[in-house]
């Protein structure tokens, strides 16, 4: 079923500092000059390298091929349908990798559990081989995570794991026409957020925090308890909210938030002469220009992220392991 294991890594903070300042000692001088603890960078780097080496050793030979790539090369990397993916890093590396996949399963590894919470990272470096084996055998439980897709009237498209931002690059007001459920409204705001279930507890939730704060300021202890907008990773719906909408003779505030059901979409037409953008998952560097004349349609994608779930203790493979697994010392 799978022929190649692709391990996606990332640079540590120490490696990024050395790239910036040319040498480790210059990086150390900068950090300590700022009154920070350079030893923390050293420890984090050592832990990450140890995790990668553990994975190289325990995963080598589980599939016929193994390739290691840094996440910076993901935009130019072509995944095969027969690839099985292992990510090593914080939740962000799962989010970043997922947008380049089309159904390939991800075994997400937390390289430093004492440092990172890892909501999307069920595997330790030592347990990752077991996850790979179960995934390769089709015996692993998985989370089928809904993704969002943005399609543009010029043919471009963009995927999101957590959310889309539509609006201005800067703090200048974003101006556009929003279309939803047969209604259209011109708006001026700080931009529009569209979130998946996975993203409903992230950036999207900050808009409700702001609304809660204003409500409590006005009503004090009489403020009602408002349910939080959170839904499951596999929920087929998306949710949108308009950030800080401004009411004027030109702009309205009626279409301030909503749920985008399966088969429905949110249409946004730009009225921004310049600096309008659409980007996903907070990565502004990968933004698509969204200036006057551009129209974007945002809806649930047919693609899903397939995230391998933690393997229950004591579980067994569905069938006898194939020959290529025979030499593994980590079989459950």
Maximum Cα–Cα distance for the chain, whole Å?
A: 72
What integer pLDDT is reported at residue 325 of this predicted model? Answer: 43
Distance CA 274, CA 295 (A): 14
In sequence order, the 6+-apart residues with CB closer than 8 A to the CB of 228 are 205, 208
Q: What pTM, to 2 d.p., does this model score?
A: 0.86
The dihedral region occupied by 178, where left means phi > 0, alpha psi between -120 and 50, and beta the remainder, is beta
Distance CA 72, CA 77 (A): 10
Q: What is the pLDDT of residues 230-286, one digit of tens each?
A: 889 999 999 999 999 999 999 999 999 999 999 999 999 999 999 999 999 998 988
Q: Which domains does the chain have, with CATH numbers?
A: 4-141+309-325 (3.40.50), 147-302 (2.60.200.30)
Judged against a pLDDT cut of 60, whether residue 321 lies above it is answered with no
The dihedral sign for the CA sequence 289, 294, 297, 298: positive
What integer pLDDT is reported at residue 197 of this predicted model? Answer: 95
Q: Which helix (H) or strand (E) holds 270?
A: strand 266-270
């Amino acid at each position: 079923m799978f022929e190649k294991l692709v391990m996606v890594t990332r640079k540590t903070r120490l490696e990024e500092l050395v790239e910036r300042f040319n040498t480790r000692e210059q990086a150390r001088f900068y950090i300590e000059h700022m009154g920070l603890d350079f030893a923390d960078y050293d420890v984090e780097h050592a832990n990450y390298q140890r995790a990668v080496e553990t994975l190289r050793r325990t995963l080598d030979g589980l599939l016929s091929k193994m390739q290691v790539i840094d996440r910076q090369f993901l935009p130019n990397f072509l995944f095969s349908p027969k690839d099985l993916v292992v990510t090593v890093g914080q939740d962000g590396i799962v989010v970043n990798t997922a947008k380049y996949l089309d159904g390939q399963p991800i075994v997400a590894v937390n390289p430093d559990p004492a440092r990172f919470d890892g909501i999307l990272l069920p595997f330790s470096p030592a347990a990752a081989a077991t996850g790979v084996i179960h995934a390769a055998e089709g015996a692993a439980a998985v989370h089928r995570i809904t993704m969002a897709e943005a399609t543009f009237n010029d043919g471009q498209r963009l995927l999101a794991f957590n959310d889309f931002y539509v609006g201005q690059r800067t703090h200048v007001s974003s101006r556009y026409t929003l279309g939803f459920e047969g209604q259209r409204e011109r708006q001026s705001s700080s931009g529009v957020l569209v979130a998946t279930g996975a993203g409903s507890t992230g950036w999207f939730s900050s808009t409700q925090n702001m609304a809660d704060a204003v409500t409590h300021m006005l009503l004090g202890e009489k403020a009602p308890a408002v349910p939080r907008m959170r839904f499951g990773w596999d929920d087929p719906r998306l949710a949108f909210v308009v950030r800080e909408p401004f009411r004027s003779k030109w702009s309205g505030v009626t279409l301030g938030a909503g749920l985008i059901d399966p088969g429905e979409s949110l249409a946004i037409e730009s009225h921004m002469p310049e600096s309008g953008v659409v980007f996903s998952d907070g990565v502004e560097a990968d933004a698509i220009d969204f200036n006057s004349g551009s129209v974007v349609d945002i809806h649930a994608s047919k693609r899903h992220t397939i995230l391998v779930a933690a393997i229950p203790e004591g579980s067994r493979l569905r069938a006898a392991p194939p020959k290529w697994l025979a030499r593994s010392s980590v079989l459950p």
